[in-house]
Chain A
């Protein structure tokens, strides 16, 4: 199975900061990479699909990039409601599916 590795595992940031989260696949997955946001006690929410396509209704401060094995999620100006855990997920194998271990974004 494909292994997904996110970094960092956690980060501290302030409102207005630019936040960057990276995700690396153990093999080429083209652009079959999706990003989710999860808040405590809630289901994950799709943010970005196909590496760079913004899901309908998601604020434009979220963006994704990358292809092959290296991917990035950027939040250009962190808002209070963005403090959450973020997961990448590969859908190249379709299925099985693998998730990254998550990146927790905490308030500084």
Chain B
């Protein structure tokens, strides 16, 4: 069964950038999209964006447009999330999740990575 393993916690200064990785172990990679969801402390889930590695197609939530980039390295079965111009309210746990793209597309997120804590503080 596929697992998604994310990179470790990060502490960043306001205005800087962070890049989080998500490696898929076992299972197919190209026939799935990798999406990113964040959760601020004590808050709910918020979709950030995603990528279909096979096509290089990306989608981002409007509030992150211009600050977020999702990429993927198919040979390494790894997806990446980069968020720039960090602010204190970007402090959150960032999760990656796999979404199937083969028909019929349902859009469920499964499995999820373990999460990466990003702290933005001066």
Give the size of the chain A interface in residues (CB under 8 angstroms): 25
The answer to whether B11 has its CB under 8 Å from any CB of chain A is no
Q: Mark A90-102, 1 if CB is under 8 A from B, else 0.
A: 0110111111111
> For the complex, what is the distance from the CA of A36 to the CA of B113, rounded to whole Å?
14
Measured CB to CB, the closest approach of chain A to B3, in angstroms, equals 11
Interface range on chain B (Cβ under 8 Å from partner): 20 to 34
> For the complex, what is the distance from the CA of A91 to the CA of B108, rounded to whole Å?
7
The answer to whether B106 has its CB under 8 Å from any CB of chain A is yes
Interchain residue pairs with CB less than 8 A apart (22): A1-B62, A32-B106, A34-B108, A34-B109, A36-B109, A38-B45, A43-B114, A45-B112, A46-B110, A46-B111, A49-B108, A50-B108, A55-B108, A89-B45, A91-B106, A94-B107, A95-B107, A96-B61, A97-B107, A99-B45, A101-B44, A102-B44
Chain A interface residues (CB < 8 Å from chain B): 1, 32, 34, 36, 38, 43-46, 49-50, 55, 87, 89, 91-92, 94-102
